[in-house]
Structure 1
Amino acid sequence: MRQRLAELRGPAAPVPLDARALAALAANPGCHRRALLDGAGVDKGALARALGAPAAFGQSQFAFVRGHSFEARVKADGGAELIRLLHERLADGTPVPGPDDVDVPDLSAAGPEGRTARTALALREATAAGRWALLDHPLLALTVGGTPAYLEPDAVVVHPDGGWTVVEIKSFAMIDGAADSAKVGAAARQAAVYVLALEGVAEHAAEHAAVRHRALLVCPRNFSNVPAAALVDVRKQLSTTRRQLARLTQVADLAAALPEGTTFDLCLADDGRTATRPEKELAAAVDAVAAAYAPECLAACELAFHCRARAREADAVQALGRAVRSELGSLTTVESVLAAARGEAGDPGDPTVAALRRAQALRAEALAGAACR
């Protein structure tokens, strides 16, 4: 499988999977295109630019600096404030831990393999000690498609009872105790990836080590720089992530189904010189893999603009959103939906068609009443 995926990618170094990429895969499990490109390590950003449909990702410099400043404040004083926030949300009746009650182990080591090994050792030692411990930016490894993906959560807290809690520190505001649901959902999916990786470490740790399925989300309170926190249940996202990663092991089947000669390599050999592969050829290769576009992809995938253009060209209803697509059943194009609503096509006994015609009749009635006024 690795050889075939390497052939699809070309000589370029594979782009490693991170927690954001894995969370995005879990958010759209039906997209074969993303699964194959991520499994092959293709640089989707460079591919999107070559297709003439680049997507801008990343934070502004101001947001980046603000986020780092906020994270430093949350972790100040040896993580005492962070542990206090977690303890406050647990409300388990135990004494509030002070700065001297929290251990902060040194996680420095050479290379990703060394850092993951040092993180695993620190987790085992902290669990055995039976004290609060804060692991600042630990490094975890998760095997994806036969290769390790290295993941770096903001923090992991070890409880005195042996529980491990993932901490996600975000710069979006928590106003009156609530934050934007879409952003919270994205944070929960990312935390679920870390929980899954931690579970692999816990299997080889002390018997009483247990990864908690509620992550601590820390955000600025209202419009200040004061931290507020909430525990987010990630069990649903964890289940989805497991299914999607299991599906990634079948990427070889997706690659085998591609036409002979398909490649996502941006360059081609031309008399000993490197030339850019024609956009038409790259587009044909990308379009040979089925996509599951939805407007939510615009915030999570570098190829979203290309996929959106293709969905619009095909008049596909998924361009209107997953909720709309799921409601329309066998009607897959906008024109077929409009024709069904007008009574020009569709089975009148189909509940979807009947609902569309009823909606069309109500609209016509409302417009006629407005015209009379």
Structure 2
Amino acid sequence: MSRARLAELRGPGVRPRPLDARALAALAANPGCRRRALLDGAGVDKGALAQALGSPAAYGRSQFAIVRGNAFEARVKSDGGTDLLRLLHERLAPGTPPPAPEEVATPDLSAAGPEGRTARTALALREATAAGGWALLDHPMLAVEVAGSPAYVEPDAVVVHPDGSWTVVEIKSFPMIDGSADAAKVGAAARQAAVYVLALEPVARHTAARTGRPVHVRDRALLVCPKDFSNLPTAAAVDVRKQLATTRRQLARLTRVEEIAEALPPETTFDLRLADDGRTATRPPEELAQAVEAVGAAYVPECLAACELAFHCRGRSREDGAVEALGRGVRGELGSLRTVEEVLAAAGAGEDPADPEAERDPAVAALRRAAALRAEALAGAAVPAPRAKEPGCR
């Protein structure tokens, strides 16, 4: 798909909203959602779109958490990243000589635009690898293809080892208490690190071909967090092989953006502005909803923590009675039953377990058995309790 068509979808003059690793990890977790693939590929601001539809997202990082995270990251990278490299050496390279601060290269990665920064990052990685020393790349820019369109991601840091290997560094502000952190937050950080490793792999292959040195991206990322309840950094090595394999497989399954857009009416747009007699007005929510509904979605409850349009999609899913709104596990157990009405009808269609329909569909048999057990439990609960003795009775 041409960039012009993507610009038409988000609106003329509207800057594309960049994808980050957090959004890419969420997109890879639900590759069947064509709606998110198209909106993310076109750079549409889903948060503003959800607000215009009347279903704003009720989540997001607080300003306090952002400021705290930025302050901790600055603390970790101060003095040329001395603490960061010390932690990396302790966790990932204990058998090698520790790097001296003056031996660590810190290349300048500034350039114009994401394409320029991506090219500058690739050049810096190639030069550092060819030099055969330590290098710390602060906020490099990497590109990864998502549904046929490039997405630019920015890890906190990438460290080049003297042996030609590269390590992704993730710096988070949640604490690591007694050497362990919240499992859900660590898992989210591992999924983000896997996106960065995936984006580094083609750069590593190109660097190896240009420098003649063996280059590989390590599948263990360095997670840096505050130690206990202080602002002192500590770290742990996180194995991202599982997350990397999952992300690679799921992103490969994503339908290409141009294939999704070809099925849309030519006048489809997600532009919130409506030009009317030279004045700019807000596009009616009904028109925006029609454009959004023209693209198929795959709502699951996990979307509530990962997508700005989740509340809108949940409302539509409930209106349609789709069983997907109950979760992937429930959807898998119900087999061919697609709506809540079908489930209720199957559960109450009969009580005979030998019914031919129940024999043909194990889900129907399980539903009828569950309905019978529920009726039995309710009948037992309806038994009146013994009456209390009257006062004065013995």
Q: Please report the TM-score for the alignment, with normalisation by the length of structure 1.
A: 0.88
Distance 2:223 2:311 in 1: 30
Which of 82, 95, 99 is the matching residue for 1:80? 82
Residue 213 of structure 1 and its aligned partner are, at CA, apart by 1.9
- SS in structure 2 opposite 1:165? strand
Distance 2:189 2:165 in 1: 21
2:363 corresponds to 1:352 = yes
CA contact (8 A) 2:37 2:147 kept: no
Distance 2:371 2:180 in 1: 38
Distance 2:259 2:116 in 1: 34
Residue 190 of structure 1 and its aligned partner are, at CA, apart by 1.8
Once the two structures are superposed, residues 130-157 of structure 1 have per-residue CA deviations (whole angstroms, 9 ceiling, x without a partner) of 3332211112233445654332110101
Once the two structures are superposed, residues 64-116 of structure 1 have per-residue CA deviations (whole angstroms, 9 ceiling, x without a partner) of 12111221222233223222323333365334445445333333344434433
Deviates more, 1:225-234 or 1:67-76: 225-234
Distance 1:361 1:223 in 2: 53
Equivalent position of 2:161 in the other structure: 159
Residue 283 of structure 1 and its aligned partner are, at CA, apart by 0.8
Deviates more, 1:74-83 or 1:163-172: 74-83
Equivalent position of 1:254 in the other structure: 260
- SS in structure 2 opposite 1:183? helix
Deviates more, 1:219-228 or 1:22-31: 219-228
Which of 64, 67, 85 is the matching residue for 1:65? 67
Distance 2:324 2:175 in 1: 31
CA contact (8 A) 2:167 2:218 kept: yes
- SS in structure 2 opposite 1:203? helix
Distance 1:229 1:34, change over 3 A: same
Equivalent position of 2:176 in the other structure: 174
Distance 1:56 1:66, change over 3 A: same
Distance 1:337 1:275, change over 3 A: same
Which of 335, 339, 343 is the matching residue for 1:329? 335
Which of 142, 154, 178 is the matching residue for 1:140? 142
Identity of aligned residues (%): 77
Distance 2:115 2:36 in 1: 27
Equivalent position of 1:203 in the other structure: 205
CA contact (8 A) 2:138 2:158 kept: yes
Once the two structures are superposed, residues 249-268 of structure 1 have per-residue CA deviations (whole angstroms, 9 ceiling, x without a partner) of 62212111123532222233
CA contact (8 A) 1:134 1:158 kept: yes
Distance 1:310 1:200 in 2: 40
Residue 29 of structure 1 and its aligned partner are, at CA, apart by 0.6
Distance 1:273 1:195, change over 3 A: same
Distance 1:100 1:274, change over 3 A: closer
Matched residue pairs, number?
Answer: 373
Deviates more, 1:356-365 or 1:64-73: 356-365
- Equivalent residue letter for 1:105: P
- Equivalent residue letter for 1:235: R
Distance 1:220 1:263 in 2: 45
Distance 1:335 1:111, change over 3 A: closer
> Counterparts in 2 of 1:107-146, with a 5 A limit?
107-144=109-146
Equivalent position of 2:37 in the other structure: 35
* Structure 1 spans left out of the alignment, 5+ residues: none
Q: Please report the TM-score for the alignment, with normalisation by the length of structure 2.
A: 0.84
CA contact (8 A) 2:29 2:250 kept: no
Equivalent position of 1:320 in the other structure: 326
Distance 1:332 1:178, change over 3 A: farther
CA contact (8 A) 2:350 2:368 kept: no
Higher radius of gyration, 1 or 2:
2
Equivalent position of 2:347 in the other structure: 341
* Structure 2 spans left out of the alignment, 5+ residues: 386-394
